[in-house]
Structure 1
Amino acid sequence: MASITLYIDCVSNYGYMALHLVKTHFSGVPLKLVPVFLGGIMQATGNRPPFAVPLKGNYMKLDAERTCRRYNIPIRKGFPEKFPMPTLLAQRVQVAAGIALGQEKGNTVVEAFEKALWLEEVDIESQENCGAVLVKAVGKEDAGKVLKTLTENTDAVKEQLKKNTEAAIKSGSFGVPWFVVKDKDGKEDVIWGVDHIDLVAEMVGVQWPPAGLKKETAQL
């Protein structure tokens, strides 16, 4: 059966875009969201953030705006004042959610943090704000379970985030969003970046461009 595993860190606006497209247009395809630490991937692979190269950073802003217009992706205006910002706490909360609540609700929490930063303009460096995002996503009771896991099993949470990051690297990742995609026959392939979402669609048998999106617009 076709499936998608998406390795993601909420610091990446392209990760948010990729997740939005998958959630909006790939609803029938099993999806596993895996929170990773992008800084760890960068360090391990010798990669550099786009903004470390000024001209590349400027281009990324233009490209991000174009991508969101192309696919009708709602997103905040501009980048956060402090960018890139530390996301280690937010990523650990997401990992703790997967441990405490399972994959399905873990996916919900990952999506909530992506939206919080890139749509709702929430400062996710703040412990208080992370807690609020969590409560909004899964309710007070489940949020309590996640926070308990985060505080009482800190080492296990840290280790799981490390394992997630290492798994992404082992599969070939040098950045995010990083897709590991299986087709209906179980053949696996890897795809980096939201600009190759058409290849993801082809592998899992989803029509692309999606209904309502003009073909000429999708190919801009």
Structure 2
Amino acid sequence: MSRGSRKLVELFYDVVSPYSWLGFEVLRRYTDVWNINLKLRPAFLGGVYKGSGNRSPDNVPTMRFLTAVAERELGGDCRLEQISRELWMRIWSRDQDISQLASLSEAGLKLGLPGSEVEELVKLATSQSVKDKLKATTEEAVQYGAFGFPLIVCHVNGRPEIFFGSDRFELMAHCIGEKWMGPQPNKLFRCFAKIPSHRHNQTFTYRNLAMTM
């Protein structure tokens, strides 16, 4: 089957959402497995909640900071990915603050960003242009029908296909013409490599493969 052109997959997320973290990590693992271009879209979960009538958490400074990081990216989402993961680690793994600008600066410095660049990002995060960008991205998520995060938008044949939550990857894979191999596809590949070569042509279920782990 021809791989064809790479499909754009957008991930709308907020680091205050632990389920967004799960979706983020799984999609990152599949960027080298599926024929996709993953675009990270930091947005404000509180704005989505407000737009859909739900209660709203207050982490505006955090998402403005990530929006500033995104605005300074020169192709790709490398730094945005790293800083998003660090903020998820702070709030959900180490029980550290991510709401204060000092905490956000600390996260940037920990990842090796120069102090001058971190200061520039903090300043940019308070600018009107970044405020407008975050608002526009959040409104775009609401227009897609978001009522929470993560929201995954797959662009297939000129139209958006919407998936909510971190447990819809099998459906998403079918939609974009790919195979879902569990949350750790590289681990599955390693398990397949353990199977004797003379049995590779046989049909194996995930249960068969699990026995090799």
Per-residue deviation, 1:171: 1.4
1:35 pairs with 2:42: yes
TM-score (norm 2): 0.73
1:162 match: secondary structure: helix
Counterpart in the other structure of 1:75: none
2:146 match: secondary structure: coil
Alignment of 1:98-117 (within 5 A): 98-102=70-74, 103-104=76-77, 105-117=79-91
Matched to 1:34, the amino acid is R
Distance 1:205 1:112, change over 3 A: farther
1:125 pairs with 2:104: no
State whether residues 125 and 131 of structure 2, in contact with CA within 8 Å, keep that contact through their aligned partners in structure 1: no
Superimposed CA distance per residue, residues 41-84 of structure 1 (whole angstroms, 9 cap, x where no aligned partner): 111111357xxxxxxxxxxxxxxxxxxxxxxxxxxxxxxxxxx6
1:146 pairs with 2:151: no
State whether residues 61 and 125 of structure 2, in contact with CA within 8 Å, keep that contact through their aligned partners in structure 1: no
1:24 pairs with 2:29: yes
Alignment of 1:28-67 (within 5 A): 28=33, 29-48=36-55
Show structure 1 runs of 5+ residues with no match: 50-83
Counterpart in the other structure of 2:192: none
Counterpart in the other structure of 2:150: 177
Q: Percent identity?
A: 25
State whether residues 96 and 146 of structure 1, in contact with CA within 8 Å, keep that contact through their aligned partners in structure 2: yes
State whether residues 16 and 118 of structure 1, in contact with CA within 8 Å, keep that contact through their aligned partners in structure 2: no
State whether residues 16 and 115 of structure 1, in contact with CA within 8 Å, keep that contact through their aligned partners in structure 2: no
The alignment's C-alpha RMSD in Å is 2.4
TM-score (norm 1): 0.71
Show structure 2 runs of 5+ residues with no match: 1-5, 189-204, 208-213
Per-residue deviation, 1:197: 1.7
Superimposed CA distance per residue, residues 136-180 of structure 1 (whole angstroms, 9 cap, x where no aligned partner): 3361154233123224xx211111111010010111111110011
State whether residues 2 and 186 of structure 1, in contact with CA within 8 Å, keep that contact through their aligned partners in structure 2: no
1:198 match: secondary structure: helix
1:194 match: secondary structure: coil
Per-residue deviation, 1:95: 0.6
State whether residues 105 and 119 of structure 2, in contact with CA within 8 Å, keep that contact through their aligned partners in structure 1: no
User: In structure 1, what is the Cα distance between the partners aligned to 2:24 and 2:140?
Assistant: 19
Superimposed CA distance per residue, residues 4-38 of structure 1 (whole angstroms, 9 cap, x where no aligned partner): 10110111111011001111233352111111111
Per-residue deviation, 1:198: 1.4
Counterpart in the other structure of 1:97: 69
Matched to 1:145, the amino acid is E
Counterpart in the other structure of 1:69: none
Q: How many residues align?
A: 178
State whether residues 16 and 114 of structure 1, in contact with CA within 8 Å, keep that contact through their aligned partners in structure 2: yes
* Structure exhibiting the larger radius of gyration computed from Cα positions: 2
